[in-house]
């Protein structure tokens, strides 16, 4: 869930935490129950005024939807007792109907719920939700497509990188990082220029999942970004995909005292550099060097055997002249 959605919730302020916790626990208790009453109750909770309750309802519905993939014959057995249980198609249709609710926060919750199912059959619904009039719904749809991780979402998510809302652009960048397809590199690199720090940081984080030369070069350039959050995300991404070319730029950050999560950014940079050195100059690289050195010694020994010494050369020539 996103901070802006929490703050925008009608009951985010003033409601007793105990009441919110009770509804969250109620939703969690209904997870994995395919009985019609339980499912209908969770569907109603998608419209709860508090985002934490809606999130728990999303998770519970995902657990219930997972029953159908884990037990292929469950739909058949449930069809025998339609009054007590729901079929998968009925469950899917009921959640999909929430995407057309007049309330934006309900539509957003439905998109989040479908994303947690991680089933490609909902891709079309979520792609359509990327065009919703409400930015919160579009952001939730982008996040959901990232959770599913199907490459068919690449093009609509790349288009979403140009959405008017920075929250949608950020969610689309994060989703492309989760999918991890190199086709998104150029579009993500473009986000590193002229965008708010929140979006640039999301793009830098996403590039950390794309092991390509252009991604590495863009991340190295990000180490000089004016925003500490962007520099931090670039450091973390280079820790994952950086090579020896990033070490100089990381070393330049070692004296950066900006605190990120309680640690100076320089400490994060040193940690990333060490990870790169271990990865690039580790066991396999040492083995390659050893093999190369051994091969060179063999070639030198063979060359010495074929080349006569100075004295031996003269004696051979004299012997031939006699």
User: Which DSSP state fits 211?
Assistant: -
| Start-to-end CA span in the chain (Å) | 97
Given this model, what pLDDT does residue 309 score? Answer: 55
122-128 — which CB contacts under 8 Å span 24+ positions? 122/92, 122/96, 122/148, 123/148, 123/150, 123/152, 123/153, 125/96, 125/99, 126/153, 127/153, 127/156, 128/99
**pTM of the entire predicted model:** 0.78
CA 289/CA 284 separation, integer angstroms: 9
Residue 165 has pLDDT above 80, yes or no: yes
Q: Of the ranges 117-126, 201-210, 233-242, which one carries the lowest mean pLDDT score?
A: 117-126
Average pLDDT over residues 35-44: 94
Residue 302 has pLDDT above 70, yes or no: yes
Distances (CA, A) of 19 to 39, 158, 187, 244: 21, 40, 44, 54
248 backbone dihedrals φ, ψ, rounded to 5°: -60, -45
Residue 98 has pLDDT above 70, yes or no: yes
Q: How confident is the model at residue 308 (pLDDT cuts 50, 70, 90)?
A: low
Distances (CA, A) of 80 to 63, 74, 85: 22, 10, 9
Distances (CA, A) of 93 to 59, 89, 229: 17, 6, 41
- The mean predicted confidence, pLDDT, of the chain is 86
CA 247/CA 277 separation, integer angstroms: 8
Query: Across the chain, where does the E strand assignment appear?
Result: 259-260, 263-264
Average pLDDT over residues 22-43: 94
Higher-confidence residue: 286 or 56? 56
Q: 1-153 maps to which CATH number? A: 1.25.10.10
Residues 6+ apart with CB under 8 A from 244: 276, 277, 280, 281
Share of the chain above pLDDT 70, in %: 82
Give the DSSP per-residue string, 219-244.
HHHHTT-S-HHHHHHHHHHHHHH--G
Higher-confidence residue: 73 or 266? 266
Distances (CA, A) of 256 to 26, 43, 253, 292: 47, 49, 5, 39
Q: How confident is the model at residue 299 (pLDDT cuts 50, 70, 90)?
A: confident
Residue 272 has a CB neighbour count (10 Å cut-off) of 23
Crossing angle (nearest 10°) for helices 104-117 and 135-148: 0
**Sequence spans of domains, the chain:** 1-153
Average pLDDT over residues 118-146: 95
């Amino acid at each position: 869930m996103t901070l802006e959605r929490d703050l925008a919730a009608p009951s985010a302020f003033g409601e007793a935490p105990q009441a919110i916790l009770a509804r969250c626990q109620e939703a969690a208790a209904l997870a994995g129950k395919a009985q019609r009453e339980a499912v209908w109750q969770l569907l109603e909770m998608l419209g709860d005024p508090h985002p934490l309750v809606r999130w728990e309802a999303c998770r519970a519905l995902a657990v219930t939807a997972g029953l159908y993939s884990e037990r292929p014959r469950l739909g058949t057995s449930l069809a025998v007792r339609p009054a007590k249980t729901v079929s998968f198609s009925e469950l899917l249709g009921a959640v999909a109907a929430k995407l057309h609710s007049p309330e934006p926060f309900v539509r957003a919750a439905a998109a989040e719920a479908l994303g947690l199912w991680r089933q490609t059959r909902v891709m079309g619904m979520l792609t359509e939700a990327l065009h919703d009039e409400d930015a919160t719904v579009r952001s939730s749809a982008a996040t959901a497509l990232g959770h599913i991780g199907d490459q068919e979402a690449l093009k609509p998510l790349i288009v979403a990188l140009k959405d008017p809302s920075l929250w949608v652009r950020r969610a689309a960048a994060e989703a492309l990082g989760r999918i991890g397809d190199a086709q998104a590199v150029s579009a993500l690199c473009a986000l590193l220029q002229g965008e708010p720090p929140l979006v640039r940081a999301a793009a830098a984080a996403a590039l950390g999942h794309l092991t390509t030369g252009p991604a590495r070069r863009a991340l190295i350039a990000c180490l000089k970004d004016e925003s500490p959050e962007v520099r931090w995300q670039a450091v973390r991404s280079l820790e994952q995909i950086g090579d020896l070319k990033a070490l100089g730029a990381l070393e330049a950050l070692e004296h950066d005292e900006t605190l990120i999560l309680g640690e100076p950014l320089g400490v994060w940079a040193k940690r990333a550099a060490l990870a790169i050195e271990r990865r690039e100059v580790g066991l396999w690289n040492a083995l390659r060097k050893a093999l190369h050195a051994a091969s060179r010694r063999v070639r030198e020994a063979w060359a010495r055997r074929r080349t006569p010494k100075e004295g031996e050369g003269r004696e051979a020539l004299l012997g031939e002249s006699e």
